[in-house]
Amino acid sequence: MHNPGTHESLPFVSLMIGRITAWWRGRQAERLDISPALWDVVEARFWFLDHLRQDERTELRRLAREFIASKEWSGAQGLELTPHIQLAIALQACLPILHLGLDWYAGWVGIIVYPGDFLIPRQVMDEGGVVHEYEDQVMGEAWYGGPVLISWFHDPDDTLGVNVVIHEFAHKLDMKNGDADGMPPLHEGMSRKRWAAVMGSAFEDFRRRVDSGEETALDPYAAELPSEFFAVASEAFFEDTAMLRSEYPEVYDQLRQFYRQDPAAFSGYLEAHQPPR
């Protein structure tokens, strides 16, 4: 049945629902009790936030609050979730969407935090049709339409060189338009063809380098799949920005357009503050 009335009212209804959701999220976020001291302590963990302008820091705090309020958090394997842990995860998760908005993380709610890396049971079927079961040791995993699983390391030195939060949330952005394939939904003015060409050739080049036994500055895990290349390159974009820009300038440029941020503009500052690797 064709009902023009329904068609006309739909955008209005979805706009209203969007506004109510945003209002509710804002209210919940305001109720979170986060002391100024806690903000300072947790932000001090992340030297790669230091170059943000004051208005960006304020926006990041607002997003982090709303992010904490809008997700369902649970600690696995006896981990007791503290405001410190939630804030540390939220600040890192919201950095990539600082200029994109929280709606990029809509459509799922669960965040499960593990005390360190953890095992995920897997199954593979071999060519003979026999199913083999094994356990995969991981630091995180993002499920399409489902939760993000993340390991928590109290000492940031334990994960030196890897940002598991930015990594898993980059997968979430990638999944915004379907399976993780290394191409998130691109903004107007960006070209899918250009993205595919730049990321594809960088991935192939990186894969060759890793296969030949070269020691790479970028985490060799990026050679696994195009989706992993995007996630690992996203970590480097925010944390090791000068390295990414010098090794793969076109990848940096695509990520700069996608994230609408240009951390390499502050690369001198970031390098000076970066812990040794």
- 166 binds Zn ion, rule: CB under 5 A: no
The β-bridge relationship of strands 72-75 and 110-115 is parallel
- 180 binds Zn ion, rule: CB under 5 A: no
**Least distance CB 224 / Zn ion (angstroms):** 8
Query: CA 11, CA 16: separation in Å to the nearest integer?
Result: 9
CB nearer to Zn ion: pick between 228 and 247: 228
**Least distance CB 160 / Zn ion (angstroms):** 18
Q: Which of 49, 68, 231, 264 binds Zn ion (CB under 5 A)?
A: 231
**Least distance CB 228 / Zn ion (angstroms):** 5
- 233 binds Zn ion, rule: CB under 5 A: no
Query: CA 239, CA 196: separation in Å to the nearest integer?
Result: 23
Angle at 75 between CA 37 and CA 110, to 5 degrees: 95
Tokens for 187?
Answer: 């903004």
Helix 164-174 crosses helix 83-94 at what angle (to 10 degrees)? 50
Chain length of the chain: 277
**Least distance CB 45 / Zn ion (angstroms):** 22
CB nearer to Zn ion: pick between 98 and 170: 170
Which stretch, 56-64, 114-122, 208-216, 222-230, contacts Zn ion (CB under 5 A)? Answer: 222-230
**Least distance CB 230 / Zn ion (angstroms):** 9
C-beta atoms surrounding 175 within 10 Å: 20
Q: What residue ranges bind Zn ion (CB under 5 A)?
A: 228, 231
